[in-house]
Chains A and B, each alone.
Chain A
Amino acid sequence: MRSAAIIAAQTLREQWKNRFLQLLLIFGGALVYAALLLGAMAMEQEHRVLVNFGAGLIELAGLAAVVVGAAYAVLRDMENKTIYLILSRPVSRGAYIAGKYAGLLLAAAAAMACMAAMHILLLKMRGADAGAGYWAVIFSSWLKAAVAGALTMLVSLISTSSLSALLMSCIFWTLGHFTGELQYLSSRLAGPAAFAVKPILWIIPDLSLLNLRDSLAAGAPHAPWSVMLGYSVLYAAVCLGLSCALFSRKEF
């Protein structure tokens, strides 16, 4: 636990020092500004477009921070051999994986909070209000990033290529927003096709469950928080558990 916390803190510092986080903030700021321009073009719907577009961009930026970080974090340490200096110390492999993941989530949380603050400031400047559920939306976006990050970390250990891990995660992330449609399609399938498709539905994260942003925008009911949190924690725990099992067998 102590080793995991030390590695998490170091990962957070690395994310900060390599300017990825700063770039992300600039990127987020620029895009939120673009949202303002879009909002100005949307006339009567200006405030709604400003809120939704900005929140969507923050979600994408947070997702990028976690997924890119998860795809490269472990493989980079393996390639440049810094992992020798860590694992030759009294650090369990599980603590290493958990620490890396926690550090990435902390970095993403910090980046998303900063971007959200910038977004709210810009909204205020335009005389708009972020709405009561704004921070809940940002938190649900962070939960989606956490789920996608855990899956990416697992895929990166299976694929041993950062690029393929990124690609696979992007596919899963996209499919994860259409789990309802996929379940409907699979229910219409029979025979070997159903046998092949149904296990994939277990792997794809149900991101539509965590899509609070769209639910609130559409005025539709969303899943209870206990379900959203429970699902995120369980999905991430299973991915990390499998990552630890894979990583504990790796040789360097």
Chain B
Amino acid sequence: MTEIPAIRLENLAKTYRRSHLGRTTETIALDGLSLAVGRGEIFGLLGLNGAGKTTAMKLVLGLLFPTKGEAEVMGRKAGSNDAKRMIGYLPELPYFYPYFTPAESLEFYAALSGADSAASRISGILERVGLAPHAKKCAGEFSKGMLERLGLAQALVHDPQVLVLDEPVSGLDPLAVWDFRELFLELNRAGKTIFVSSHSISEVEKICSRVAILKAGKLAALVSQQEWKNSPGGLEEIFVRTVRG
């Protein structure tokens, strides 16, 4: 029997409709995207701005509704509570209530996910993402890097099987990028599936086993680690060739 993929997108399409003064404009963000992310895989989404990376992720999370097609998470319909229970999501530029400490924020998100919000568990997660020294501060005092770390902590707080990470290392300093990469690899070794979008080709190259390159909402190429390792210019050259072609 074939194993159910961690994430399955089937002919997924999304068209944004905006009405203004009686005129409706349509923007095709995703156009018939089909792909499957295997369990325990680190799968990357690459593409230029507006290629449909964030739209694809939001459709997986149920934050957007598809115009056509379907998405599944671990065999459950995307957007259903069963599917959402299995996902940890880190959005681009996460925001937290400024007067709450990291532990208070994590307790809230753990409770919402139906996970154990015991202090020892929360402090363990803060330790894991490198926020333990800042546990007494409020989120309003946090730098961008610290907010990103807290964003990752809330994505991990309920120990999900699938992590959906939207631009997780954008704007981070090199040390934070290193820490994040090590943590992603460690989580993957523990069996977590990671679905990550990024503009940083070098980062994707270092952690992913496969990469989908999106162009104007369509799947332009599906590249395996072996392919970019065999390519003289690496993944970067494949990406440039694909989006220019």
Q: Which residues of A contact B (CB under 8 A)?
A: 2-3, 6-7, 10, 13-14, 17-18, 80-82, 84-92, 251-252
The answer to whether A6 and B96 have CB atoms under 8 Å apart is no
Per a CB cutoff under 8 Å, which of A17, A85, A251 touches B65? A251
Q: Which residue of B lies closest to A93 (CB)?
A: B62
The answer to whether residues A3 and B112 also contact, given A88-B84, A251-B63, A252-B58 and a CB cut-off of 8 A, is yes
Question: Most A CB atoms within 10 A — which of B81, B108, B154?
Answer: B108
The answer to whether A88 and B61 have CB atoms under 8 Å apart is yes
Q: Tell me the minimal C-beta distance from B23 to chain A in angstroms.
A: 18
The complex places the Cα of A166 from the Cα of B82 at a distance, in Å, of 37
Per a CB cutoff under 8 Å, which of A3, A7, A88 touches B63? A88
Q: A3-B112, A14-B99, A84-B63 are in contact. List 12 more A-B contacts (CB 8 A).
A: A6-B108, A7-B112, A14-B97, A81-B94, A84-B91, A85-B94, A87-B61, A89-B85, A89-B158, A92-B81, A251-B64, A252-B64
Q: Which residue of B lies closest to A84 (CB)?
A: B91
Question: Most B CB atoms within 10 A — which of A14, A82, A89?
Answer: A89
Within B194-216, the residues touching A (CB, 8 Å) are none
The answer to whether A90 and B114 have CB atoms under 8 Å apart is yes
The answer to whether A10 and B62 have CB atoms under 8 Å apart is no
A residues in contact with B142, CB < 8 Å: none
Q: Tell me the minimal C-beta distance from A68 to chain B in angstroms.
A: 17
The complex places the Cα of A81 from the Cα of B111 at a distance, in Å, of 19
The complex places the Cα of A85 from the Cα of B63 at a distance, in Å, of 10
The complex places the Cα of A81 from the Cα of B93 at a distance, in Å, of 9
The answer to whether A86 and B112 have CB atoms under 8 Å apart is yes
Q: Which residue of B lies closest to A96 (CB)?
A: B112
A residues in contact with B82, CB < 8 Å: 90
Would you give 13 A-B contacts (Cβ < 8 Å), ordered by A? A6-B112, A14-B99, A17-B97, A17-B100, A82-B95, A85-B154, A87-B61, A88-B62, A88-B89, A90-B84, A90-B85, A91-B112, A92-B81
The complex places the Cα of A13 from the Cα of B105 at a distance, in Å, of 11
The complex places the Cα of A164 from the Cα of B234 at a distance, in Å, of 53
Per a CB cutoff under 8 Å, which of B58, B64, B89, B99 touches A17? B99
Q: Tell me the minimal C-beta distance from B235 to chain A in angstroms.
A: 28
Please tell me if B113 contacts chain A, counting CB pairs below 8 Å.
Answer: yes
Q: Tell me the minimal C-beta distance from A161 to chain B in angstroms.
A: 15
Please tell me if B87 contacts chain A, counting CB pairs below 8 Å.
Answer: yes
Per a CB cutoff under 8 Å, which of B87, B95, B104 touches A81? B95
The answer to whether B91 and A81 have CB atoms under 8 Å apart is yes
Please tell me if B109 contacts chain A, counting CB pairs below 8 Å.
Answer: yes
Per a CB cutoff under 8 Å, which of B62, B63, B96, B111 touches A82? B96
A residues in contact with B87, CB < 8 Å: 88
B residues in contact with A13, CB < 8 Å: 100, 104
Within B57-71, the residues touching A (CB, 8 Å) are 58, 61-65
A residues in contact with B111, CB < 8 Å: 6
The answer to whether residues A87 and B62 also contact, given A18-B99, A81-B95, A82-B96 and a CB cut-off of 8 A, is yes
The complex places the Cα of A87 from the Cα of B100 at a distance, in Å, of 19
